Structure 1
């Protein structure tokens, strides 16, 4: 682990941004750990044209158009409502007490790790305009009760929604068009997230930046954050990923995520450094 990254983690100056690749740390995890794995589960139960069978957002849009939004939600729920346990990285996040964790996938394991650990935390989840027109996010206490707004020591922001507590999912083309229309002026980003990111950098774990959608969300969520930023990635980056990392001043940490997680085991940020600004 680079020395400056180690120092930033120890000082609590980073926001963990967790992508679907974190699930792959457990080879036995039954949850889909890539968009490709997820769309394969959706199209296995709902017929879509062959040319979009590998495209998650397009396939979800087709199902929404021809089978109703409720079918999309049911398929998404069934894909993630599978028994699975938090892995070592989830446990480390729950124990570390970061003021803000960005969880950019649909599973329940960050929430489950925090629930097992206890403490003062809550969720803010994106919601689909198809179901909650005019509302961008919902706030939830650890027990799943929705609240208008709250202040917690740790806030988990789920920009794509998640399985629990209410099966809120942003997954179809129209879901993302609605958000991307406004995200440049930050309307869909909760104000608490905007405040917490100001004096911190971002550490991307289990994320790739191969698609325009992945890059757009990463760019806008880290917008106006202080930096510096890091991303744990394999050595095989695409040209678009390399360009994005350079444009956003994100330093790649070329190491296996499992090895990086092992290096985190003895590193817990100082509690005084993690007090929300």
Structure 2
């Protein structure tokens, strides 16, 4: 039995487990943690994402703009660092804005989550699909985004935005029914991007003591389970954020996975973090989450 098979062989029927988690979502006891895979093509009728839908695809986008050294090829963060170092931060920001300029239509799951009035949604990619879905549902929500500290001359780790996209004081977040947390930033509404190695230096130095994570996120994650949807853990940065954002929350967390695609490091991470893997095709998982009674 392979390591991937071993962690999946827990005697749990994945569709039944996911139906239970769908109930938890409706009750607000489960926090969805969305990855770029959610916006990828999930079935024959869905259009592919108009923006880079994986870190590797983003690295390819950068490679189409500038010649990258071998060490940076295929790695979005190293590619961004090379551009920032040799072209300027303004160039990197402009190219990120270009990459994520095309609007990404919300999936059926984005729309479903927006309608649930969830206390907290974590979105770990740069597109605006979840924001668009929430905007279509109403204005009782707001957003907090991680920001780069490079060159801004401010002692801040994040910024808050209301449903209209205006920057607001953090105190307003207490009144929002739903808080959208984008730890890596986002193209909308203000082009905040944590992307280069330099962006993450201070964050990763402090994240173990939770300083870069907003207090309102810490409050709303308490005693709740997390469900990772469209996420991978094949990079140390992705694993670090998943571990730190879920810190001091509920006792059990879950991840929808493709067993055939899991790397050895991903298997180790799932096991070490006590993350229960749910082996289902993403399209089927989304159907269950959306339609479970």
Interval containing the TM-score (normalised by the shorter chain): over 0.9
- 1:124 pairs with one of 127, 140, 144: 144
Task: In structure 2, list runs of 5 or more residues that go unmatched.
Answer: 1-14
- 2:117 pairs with one of 82, 97, 105: 97
Provide the residue aligned with 1:12 in structure 2. Answer: 28
Aligned 8 A contact 2:145 2:182 in 1 = yes
21-30 or 89-98, which deviates more: 21-30
Q: Does 1:217 align with 2:241?
A: yes
Within 2, Cα distance between the matches of 1:10 and 1:122? 19
The 5 Å alignment of 1:25-104 reads 25=42, 26-104=46-124
- 1:168 pairs with one of 184, 192, 199: 192
Provide the residue aligned with 1:146 in structure 2. Answer: 167
Helix, strand or coil for the counterpart of 2:254? strand
TM-score where L is the length of structure 2: 0.88
The 5 Å alignment of 1:124-273 reads 124-132=144-152, 133-149=154-170, 150=172, 151=174, 152-236=176-260, 237-267=262-292
Question: CA distance change for structure 1 residues 83 and 197 in 2, over 3 Å: closer, same or farther?
Answer: closer
Within 1, Cα distance between the matches of 2:186 and 2:195? 10
Task: In structure 1, list runs of 5 or more residues that go unmatched.
Answer: 269-277
Within 2, Cα distance between the matches of 1:16 and 1:60? 28
Aligned 8 A contact 2:25 2:31 in 1 = no
Helix, strand or coil for the counterpart of 2:291? coil
Provide the residue aligned with 1:271 in structure 2. Answer: none
Helix, strand or coil for the counterpart of 1:107? coil
Aligned 8 A contact 1:202 1:227 in 2 = no
Within 2, Cα distance between the matches of 1:263 and 1:251? 17
Provide the residue aligned with 1:272 in structure 2. Answer: none
Helix, strand or coil for the counterpart of 1:8? helix
